[in-house]
Structure 1
Amino acid sequence: MALNILVLGGTGPTGLALINESITRKHHVIIFARSPQKIPQEISSHPSVVIVTGSLEDEEAIERAFTDPTYIKIDAVISALGPPVMGIHPSGHPIAKGYARVARIGKEYGVSRFIVLGTASITDELDHFDARFKALVLGVQTFAPHAYEDMVQIGKLFNILNDTDWTIARVPVLIQHKENEGPYHAGYIYIGDGHTTTWLSRPRFANFVLDEVETPKWIRKRPLISMS
């Protein structure tokens, strides 16, 4: 059955992977984008795609995304929003604050399913110590403190959204597609399990997110997604 999916962060490479995977699976896609001109023409002109222009600071625009007349109701919100690959992440937890607005407005329209990108900066009680991930997080904390703080705040935000069916899909280092890559592994940080690695391709991230949209297995959980 085709679902109506609202995509945040859809103009970057990870967001485009989410959109392409959604289209491939015959879902309807509402793209909420600050800069819609960045969306490739083959996506923006696709009959299953609607674009709503706006930012996470603009509550009226967010509401338009949930009430676009093309589709009756949003079934799930998925997000590839994360710290910029290049440049400085702004202070003040902009992504976490944006998610708070989206969750509040979404609740008004009966939307409770959220699957968002996270990183290992968001910890989970089921994680084990892993020097590789400790080094990754320490590097971000040292050289990109605002990005680290925003991620930590995202984790705290969803912890208190008791009426939201959220999943934080934590990712290691994201890369483009590699030939002959295997399937993704979803679990927790654990060295020596033979599965958890420190990298993940964007298409495999999209595979996990859409699998989770269609068949939820990780509601109110924070799995780490990596290549196995």
Structure 2
Amino acid sequence: MVVLVLGGTGKTGLHLVQQLLARNVKVRTIVRSPEKLPIEVARHSELAVTTAKVLEMSDEALVEQLKDCTAVVSCLGHEGTYQGMCGKASRFLVYDVLRRVCRGIGELQSPAKVILMSTGLYTNPDNDEDVKIRNTCGQRALLCMLSTCLPPHNDNMRAAEFLRTELKGMEWCAVRPELLIDGEVSQYELRDSLVCSIFSAGQTSRANVAHFMCELVQNPSAWQKWRGRFPVIYNAAVS
């Protein structure tokens, strides 16, 4: 089993890399700053690190990374700088990388799973969430403000819609955490749909998000249940 993790030095991506390695899974990761990896992780015998920006890699180099992969997991996010949030090159980082990765998987005719760390602010029209969540002036105003003032929000929405409407012939899952917090792996719950208000979101530890994505990679029953869907994950204790 080989898993390619994108965004492996991020707060959630690092949890995922560590948990996969603890499960004896071979991990590849493409990162911009490998020095952000803890020494014990960077030196792990089952980890292969490539230093690059995915969008600047050639098609051939990216396809080479995708060869023999069981799954590709994107934990990509935007840097907390003006350029990282609003710069033209990074405006649709998650969407553009996801599209390139899926094209590469298609070229290889690979059965690799695609797992996206999405957002609890994405409303899935297939569950009528866009109607339920946007049915008050306050919620509509907040989502409009995010779309106008926060480019990463539009990027995340576009990536999720790409999976829902454009990806054909591949198996995928988009995990929707609610308010992300630090913490260890604990009990968590999964929902098929969002609650009826974006103002009542629960908390989700990054470690729990990583744990669930590990289950999607390794556990056939978990994948069978959640493939092609947008599970919402939240800490059980908070609920």
Same fold (TM over 0.5): yes
Task: Work out which of the residue numbers 158, 161, 170 in structure 1 matches 2:163.
Answer: 158
Counterpart of 1:16 in structure 2 is: 14
Partner Cα distance (1:120, 1:184) in 2: 15
In the alignment, what sits opposite 1:66?
A: 66
The Cα of 1:26 is off from its aligned counterpart by 1.2
Query: What are the equivalent positions in structure 2 for 1:164-179 lying under 5 Å apart?
Result: 164-177=170-183
1:83 aligned residue = 78
Does structure 1 retain, via aligned residues, the 8 Å contact 2:21–2:27? yes
2:69·2:112 contact (CA, 8 Å) conserved in 1? no
Once the two structures are TM-superposed, the CA of residue 139 in structure 1 deviates from its matched residue by: 5.8
User: In the superposition, relative to structure 1, how do residues 137 and 200 fare at CA in structure 2: closer, same or farther (>3 Å)?
Assistant: farther
2:54 to 49, 53, 56: 56
8 Å contact kept, 1:66–1:106 = yes
Instruction: Kindly indicate whether the alpha-carbon contact (under 8 Å) linking 1:171 and 1:225 is maintained by their aligned counterparts in 2.
Output: yes
User: Which aligned pairs between 1:66-215 and structure 2 lie closer than 5 A?
Assistant: 66-67=66-67, 73-85=68-80, 87=82, 88-89=84-85, 90-91=87-88, 92-109=91-108, 110-124=110-124, 125-126=126-127, 127=129, 128-129=132-133, 134=139, 137=143, 140-144=146-150, 146-159=151-164, 160-177=166-183, 182-187=186-191, 188-191=193-196, 197-215=201-219
Question: Could you report, residue by residue, the CA deviation over 1:150-199 in whole angstroms, capped at 9, with x for unpaired residues?
Answer: 01110121121111111010112211106xx741211121259xxx8421
Shift of 1:22: 0.3
The structural deviation recorded for 1:227 is 1.1
Any gaps of 5 or more consecutive residues in structure 1? 68-72
Unaligned 5+ runs, structure 2: none
CA apart distance, 1:206: 0.7
Aligned residues: 214
Shift of 1:220: 0.8
Cα distance per residue 1:68-107 (max 9 Å; x no partner): xxxxx11000121123455552344122011111111122
Distance 2:120 2:142 in 1: 8
Structure 2 partner of 1:45: 43
Give 1:63 shift.
2.4
Contact 2:175 2:231 in 1 (8 A): yes
Report the TM-score, using the length of structure 1 for normalisation.
0.83
Per-residue deviation, residues 32-87 of structure 1 (Å, max 9, x unmatched): 112222212111110111112222211343223124xxxxx110001211234555
Q: Does 1:225 align with 2:233?
A: yes
Native 8 Å contact 2:9 2:36 kept in 1: yes
Distance 1:166 1:156, change over 3 A: same
SS of equivalent residue, structure 1 residue 5: strand
CA RMSD of aligned residues (A): 2.5
CA contact (8 A) 2:179 2:201 kept: no
